[in-house]
Amino acid sequence: MIELSIAEIATAVGGKLVGATKGELCLPAVAVQTDSRLSTAGSIFFALRGEATDGHLFAESAVANGAALVIVERPLELDVAQIVVSNGVQALHALARTVVARVREGGQLKVVAVTGSNGKTTTKNMLRSILEREGETVAPQGSFNNDVGAPITMLGVTEESKFLVVEMGADGVGDITRLQSIVMPDVGIVLMVGLAHIGKFGDASVTARAKSEMVTALPSQATAVLNFDDGRVKAMATQTNATVSSFGLDSHADLWADDIEATARGTAFTLHFDDRTIPVQLRILGEHHVTNALAAIVAARALGIDPQRSATALESIERAERWRMELLAGPGGITVINDAYNASPDSMAAALKTLVQVVGPKNRSVAVLGEIAELGDYANEEHDRIGRLIVRLNVQKLIVVGHAARHIHNAAGLEGSWDGESVLVDNIEEAYAVLREELREGDVVLVKSSNSAGLRHLGDRIAGVTA
């Protein structure tokens, strides 16, 4: 974060400064935290109220860890400066808005925002790998894409920052508009409209409306980067005043890919744009990541970066993210694809297709699957669809973990060609016990579920990863 006085911060957030005698005291370029455990010397702690707990209860701990300023909704007995605000989240947004605006006044900073039902974090990571070769780049760690995580990422910019990459998630209509009100992107990316979080949206058309907020407010000098393989996203081209730049898997897009080949070594494809072709070899598993790579390359191109330079940067990435199509060499000659950080019906189907593509003729494919969360009324139908897909893809062994995912097991068992290949267990310990008995040399094991199911830790355990 840039250096600001405490008085300037109070003005930015519209709060009242209390408990400080040096109102003009400057804070160094330090981090902003909402987790007291992460507070360090000189940091700013936002005491936010959440559904499960209240940050005010941890403010004292934040100060003990070194926080020099606490932003609160009620005064506390603390031996540091406090700024009292009416709403902590709105104050966080206001501070981010001020900081980014000041950095932008220097004329160098460009902002890229990305949304979509799947692929946001991978695309963000790809963009970071491309952009950090061109200048100081700020991008979130993990999936910081909500009302708290996105502004915290924005607050990481400094006067030297050239690029800011922001994930913008949405649980409903208006969420992306609210995040865009903090910082209007120079480039806005929409990856896809799928069934992720459909239980919250209720309908794919509502999801499309929420995601379209990424481009509807963009000014004419900005660029909207759209996936033309997705009809709902392609339709957004008529909903924006920005320049539209498209990507896809055939020549109807401005930049497109073909000759896709997924193997255990990664994913290869041929990139086409203008009259040029470039062979690209990603180390990342899964042909679905080609779309993410295209989005990153198009966005970088809008910022003046040649696609060849972008492709070279992408080829250096060893994995999409921890627990996202992460290839692990396990004991006894097994291979684990740990993709259990998150899940949607689309991403689970893509992961299963990758599993069967990378398994050699002498190896066995094993899928360990848990619940796809936040599907609402679509839950039974979508889990059922995954179960049937597993059989049709000829996955050779299935272990389903947890009652909420039982329809995967049930649907697989109803397919006539299967007899005992699927096992339903209640919990992770039971799954591990089955795997310990079942796995043999050469097996390739996909572990996939929503984060809430916790299977990512099972994937690590199978592979012998301890941290």
Q: What is the 3-state secondary structure (H, E, C) of 335-372?
A: EEEEECCCCCHHHHHHHHHHHHHHCCCCCCEEEEECCC
| Of 48-62, 103-117, 190-204, 414-428, minimum mean pLDDT range | 190-204
d(CA 440, CA 331): 10
Specify the domain boundaries for CATH 3.40.1190.10 within the chain.
108-314
More confident residue, 35 or 117: 35
Residue 416: enclosing H or E segment and its boundaries?
none
Region 303-316: mean pLDDT is: 97
Specify the domain boundaries for CATH 3.40.1390.10 within the chain.
4-89
Q: Which CATH superfamily is domain 4-89 in?
A: MurE/MurF, N-terminal domain (3.40.1390.10)
Region 238-265: mean pLDDT is: 94
Whether the predicted pLDDT of 202 surpasses 70: no
Q: Which pTM was predicted?
A: 0.85
Whether the predicted pLDDT of 102 surpasses 70: yes
Whether the predicted pLDDT of 23 surpasses 50: no
pLDDT digits (tens, 9 = 90+) for 123-158: 999 999 999 999 999 998 766 788 999 999 999 999
CATH class of 326-463: alpha beta
d(CA 384, CA 75): 52
pLDDT reported for residue 197: 47
pLDDT reported for residue 308: 97
* Per-residue tokens: 442: 């050469």
C-alpha Rg value of the chain to the nearest Å: 23
Region 316-320: mean pLDDT is: 82
Write out the E strands in 100-229. 110-115, 137-138, 163-167, 187-190, 223-227
Percentage with pLDDT > 90 across the chain: 70
Whether the predicted pLDDT of 1 surpasses 70: yes
* CB contact at 8 A, 261 and 269: yes
* Residue found under tokens 């003990």: 64
Q: What is the CATH number of domain 108-314?
A: 3.40.1190.10
Cα first-last separation, the chain: 30
Say how many C-beta atoms besides its own lie within 10 A of residue 433's C-beta: 12
The mean pLDDT of the chain is 90
* Per-residue tokens: 449: 């579920």
| Of 164-168, 170-174, 333-337, 378-382, minimum mean pLDDT range | 170-174
pLDDT digits (tens, 9 = 90+) for 81-91: 999 999 999 99
Specify the domain boundaries for CATH 3.90.190.20 within the chain.
326-463
Region 413-438: mean pLDDT is: 88
Q: Is 336 helix (H, G, I), strand (E, B) or coil?
A: strand
pLDDT reported for residue 434: 94
Backbone CA torsion sign across 112, 115, 118, 120: positive
pLDDT reported for residue 268: 95
d(CA 409, CA 444): 19
